[in-house]
A and B are shown apart, each in its own frame.
Chain A
């Protein structure tokens, strides 16, 4: 399968714990995005990488959130000291076309914070 892969698919954690999600983009795509989707809302932009450089980060993203893309391949999204409000679907997407910006999404990682 050469699509975007995300792990884990589901994560249940207790408030205050740290969690990390991994995204493996389509191999030839140099652009990688993280989005968050909560109930009743559309996907909300979190951050964007071009190769290993993090070029955009949402102002809504607190300092408990950090993302990396070492070597411009897979990416990780870490949430420290999770809060119940962090419960959401975390979507990763990759793109190769700077002219249209078409995104190829993974199936998402669902986080539940108890």
Chain B
């Protein structure tokens, strides 16, 4: 079972603030790193799937970076909006060695209007 750590566990920010979260994972047997957003009463939704060291991906105001050598990824939200309130989950994927994703506990973001 992989050790996946996310920090902080929860975060309250004011609307318009920018914020970031961290995901740490084992760097060995790395294949891909997933970020998901899980809003209350909805299904988890994929934000990014990242595979290359140094990769940076962006979707609107949300971006993510990946360091596979040291085993971490950052998720950034610029100018947080109330609709960004959700739990953000990261999960490394080891590919053919194991088909499962191992999720961290998530970071719960609350954006205060």
Interface residues on A, range: 20 to 34
CB–CB A45/B43 < 8 A: no
Can you report 10 A-B residue pairs in the complex whose CB atoms are below 8 A from each other?
A35-B103, A43-B103, A44-B103, A50-B99, A56-B98, A100-B93, A101-B34, A101-B99, A103-B44, A108-B43
B89 contacts the other chain (Cβ, under 8 Å)? yes
The number of residue pairs between A and B whose CB atoms lie closer than 8 Å in the complex comes to 66
| Complex interface residues of chain B between 35 and 82 (CB less than 8 A to chain A) | 36, 41-46, 49, 51
Cβ-defined partner of B32 (8 Å) among A42, A48, A55, A100: A100
A48-B99, A48-B100, A105-B44 are known contacts; what are 20 more A-B pairs with Cβ within 8 Å?
A31-B99, A33-B100, A33-B101, A42-B105, A42-B106, A43-B44, A43-B89, A45-B100, A45-B101, A50-B99, A101-B31, A101-B32, A101-B49, A101-B101, A102-B46, A102-B49, A103-B101, A105-B43, A107-B41, A107-B43
Within 8 A of B (CB), among A1-46: 3-4, 31, 33, 35, 40-45
Q: Which residues of A, 41-68, contact B by the 8 Å Cβ criterion?
A: 41-45, 48, 50, 55-56
Interface residues on chain B, size class = 20 to 34
Q: If A56-B100, A91-B44 touch, does A101 touch B105 (CB 8 Å cutoff)?
A: no
